[in-house]
């Protein structure tokens, strides 16, 4: 039995709304003093939604607590107010695996293969200074991929979780930069940086986290194809899930960041708080920006020749590329530690001003920073 008052307290502290299987809408106002569900799910992103569908199919009653008035987490479809053109700049691709296909079939979502491939030619610039590098050649990923796969194959259990063998293999705690040097994987560093977005200063992360993130499923997806929706609208996955759930508790499922400050409303004891205090997070932010004066067809990756492996300096922008909307570009910004939205916006503005000197069509005009969508990555 879960008290409505207790759920209301959690909602207030976490700035959340909740959806119940007794309600056909994304939020629920209940006059009961208590409600009873088999499972309460805190967070309606990909993990929470998938769990909800599986539990619903197992004939369990559920409640989903979510901070937005929709399911989907880091999914966002932007509609240009001038032209009505839509652009999906949140999560867009999924692993080409049986579990994914079965899940999307359950939701009646039409899917298609999406070939990402290895990095294609783009222009390169230091986003901190605006300096362009027209003659820069990115390392050939194919040179290092067999060596990476050979190392990854040593730890098949990483595909299933963090159930490490003991003693822990000596390579896994190594900073990834040292791991790269040890196994001559230097040609992969740009590939891993752009594939494992949100890891912050990746070369300082334990090799364990990079191997876990750039898994065999990622390698296979890049080598062949990932999956995406035929419609190009990822939000339809979660809209379909909501219709099935009808968000109709004896257990609590919490697919949100396991940090003590976030979990504070759940009355952690000292042992739980000690464990969760060991987690920190890095992040990347994706967003849209318009009327920048930059070239409409610009695709630019960040580099810094003064840094190890020429990787871009973080925090900062590291990628900007064209969209289907005229004068609107999408960007990605790496955040090694917590930063306010205003700090990110200010730095993005500074970077664009500097980039305009190298890749500008028109230095005049006003420009606007459109929606930001942060995605966080946890590390221990």
The 10s digit of each residue's pLDDT in 266-308 is 778 888 888 888 887 888 888 888 888 888 888 899 999 999 9
The predicted pLDDT at position 148 comes to: 96
Residue for token digits 């898994």? Answer: 215
Of 103 and 65, the one with more pLDDT: 103
**Rounded Cα distance, 190 and 124, in Å:** 12
Does the pLDDT value for residue 131 go beyond 60?
yes
Q: Residue ranges per domain, the chain?
A: 2-72+235-276
C-alpha separations of 172 from 143, 146, 208, 210, 289 in Å:
22, 18, 5, 9, 39
Does the pLDDT value for residue 331 go beyond 80?
yes
Does the pLDDT value for residue 133 go beyond 50?
yes
Residues 6+ apart with CB under 8 A from 46: 72, 73, 91
| Terminal CA-CA length for the chain | 33
Give mean pLDDT, residues 165-173: 92
Residues 6+ apart with CB under 8 A from 310: 136, 190, 303, 304
**Rounded Cα distance, 340 and 192, in Å:** 26
Half-sphere exposure in the Cβ direction for 161 (13 Å, CA): 3
For β-strands 251-253 and 39-42, DSSP reports them as: parallel
Averaged pLDDT score across all residues of the chain:
81
The predicted pLDDT at position 361 comes to: 55
The predicted pLDDT at position 123 comes to: 87
- The DSSP line for 144-199 is HHHHHHHHHTT-GGGGT-S---SSPPTTTTSBHHHHHHHTT-GGGHHHHHHHSTT-
Give mean pLDDT, residues 185-190: 94
The predicted pLDDT at position 250 comes to: 52
Beta bridge partners, 282, equal 377
| Percent of the chain whose pLDDT exceeds 90 | 33
Does the pLDDT value for residue 359 go beyond 80?
no
**Rounded Cα distance, 333 and 341, in Å:** 11
Count helices and strands (H / E) in the chain: 11, 16
Give mean pLDDT, residues 17-34: 45
C-alpha separations of 45 from 51, 97, 272 in Å:
10, 19, 24
The 10s digit of each residue's pLDDT in 241-251 is 988 887 544 55
Find the range with the poorest average confidence among 6-10, 42-46, 113-117. Answer: 6-10
Give mean pLDDT, residues 41-57: 90
Give mean pLDDT, residues 340-350: 89
The predicted pLDDT at position 39 comes to: 87
- Bond prior to 167 in cis (omega within 30° of 0): yes
Please write down the long-range contacts of 364-370, taking CB distance under 8 Å and 24 or more positions apart: 364/293, 365/291, 365/293, 366/291, 367/289, 367/290, 367/291, 367/292, 367/293, 368/289, 368/290, 368/291, 369/287, 369/288, 369/289, 369/345, 370/78, 370/287, 370/288, 370/289, 370/290, 370/328
Question: Of the candidates 365, 356, 362, 371, which has an alpha carbon nearest to the alpha carbon of residue 323?
Answer: 371
Query: Which tokens go with 130?
Result: 């605006």
- The alpha helices in the chain, defined as continuous H runs, are 4-14, 46-57, 98-106, 141-152, 176-182, 189-195, 207-213, 216-223, 235-245, 270-276, 341-355
The predicted pLDDT at position 247 comes to: 53
């Amino acid at each position: 039995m879960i008290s409505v008052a207790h759920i209301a307290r959690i909602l207030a502290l976490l700035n959340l709304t909740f959806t119940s299987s007794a309600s056909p809408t994304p939020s629920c106002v209940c006059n009961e003093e208590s409600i009873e569900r088999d499972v309460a799910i805190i967070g309606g992103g990909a993990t929470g939604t998938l769990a909800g569908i599986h539990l619903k199919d197992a004939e369990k009653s559920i409640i989903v607590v979510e901070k937005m008035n929709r399911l989907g987490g880091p999914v966002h479809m932007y509609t240009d107010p001038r032209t009505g053109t839509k652009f999906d700049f949140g999560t867009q691709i999924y692993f080409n695996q049986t579990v994914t296909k079965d899940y999307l079939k359950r939701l009646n979502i039409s899917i298609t293969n999406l070939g990402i491939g290895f990095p294609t030619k783009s222009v390169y610039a230091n986003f901190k200074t605006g300096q362009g590098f027209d003659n820069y050649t990115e390392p050939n990923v194919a040179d290092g991929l067999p060596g990476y796969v050979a190392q990854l194959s040593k730890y098949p259990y990483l595909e299933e979780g963090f159930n490490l063998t003991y003693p822990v293999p000596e390579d896994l705690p190594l900073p990834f930069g040292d791991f790269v040097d040890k196994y001559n994987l230097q040609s992969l560093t740009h590939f891993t940086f752009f594939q494992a977005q949100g890891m912050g200063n990746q070369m300082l992360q334990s090799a364990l986290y990079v191997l876990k993130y750039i898994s065999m499923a990622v390698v296979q997806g890049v080598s062949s194809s990932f999956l995406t929706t035929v419609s190009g609208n990822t939000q339809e996955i979660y809209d379909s899930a909501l219709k099935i759930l009808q968000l109709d508790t004896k257990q609590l499922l919490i697919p949100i960041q396991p940090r003590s400050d976030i979990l504070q409303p759940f009355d952690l004891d000292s042992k739980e708080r000690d464990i969760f205090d060991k987690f920190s997070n890095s992040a990347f932010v994706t967003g849209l920006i318009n009327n920048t004066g930059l070239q409409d067809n610009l695709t630019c990756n960040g580099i810094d020749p003064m840094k190890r492996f020429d990787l871009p300096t973080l925090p900062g922008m590291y990628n900007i590329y064209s969209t289907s909307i005229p004068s609107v570009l999408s960007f990605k910004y790496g955040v090694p530690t917590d930063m306010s939205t205003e700090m990110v916006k200010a730095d993005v503005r500074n970077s664009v001003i500097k980039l305009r000197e190298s890749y500008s069509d028109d230095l005049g005009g006003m420009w606007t920073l459109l929606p930001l969508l942060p995605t966080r990555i946890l590390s221990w």
